[in-house]
Amino acid sequence: RFREGLKVLGVLENIQKYPEIFAELLCYKPQKLTAEKFENLFSINFSPEESTRRIAESRVIGFWRNYLADIEDGTTKASFEQILTFATGTSASPAISFLPNPSIKFLHSDGIIQYRFPTGQTCLNCLKLPMSKTYEEFKECVDFAIFNTPGLKRM
């Protein structure tokens, strides 16, 4: 029935005649990730504006954006696919989008516990970033977490 329906308007004939063109239209192929596309996959859960936490979170998001630029430039060994796997459990965006959408949260110390490394919650598609003081510290801790997570190989 499906084939017959495609024949009605001559679509089936064109699919058979130009398969490479229709493959791009009909078959999902994950896009190559860039820093901008990767950043846009994640929503950021900031604390309320003007809070001291928000100021620190803004600094960490600056580090995050620098880290993504370093991946794109090839100046760090991590890849977008590794980070996506760390946060969501999959190395590519699904055709019908994530459920729930990937998000970024922050690991604030509570006076007793000091969070140094990011964590991923694959069931929630959530990446939790530590409140690093410098970009070098941030990069070192993210790299360590990515490269020492079982199942994530160096790409």
Which residues form the catalytic set? Answer: 123
What DSSP designation does 99 have?
S
Tokens 């100021």 belong to which residue? 55
Q: Using CA atoms, how far apart are residues 131 and 54, in angstroms rounded to an integer?
A: 11
**141 within 8 A of 130, measured Cβ to Cβ:** yes
| Total Cβ atoms within 10 A of residue 132 | 23
Which two three-digit tokens encode residue 62?
């600056």
97: left (phi over 0), alpha (psi -120 to 50) or beta: left
Q: Using CA atoms, how far apart are residues 124 and 87, in angstroms rounded to an integer?
A: 8
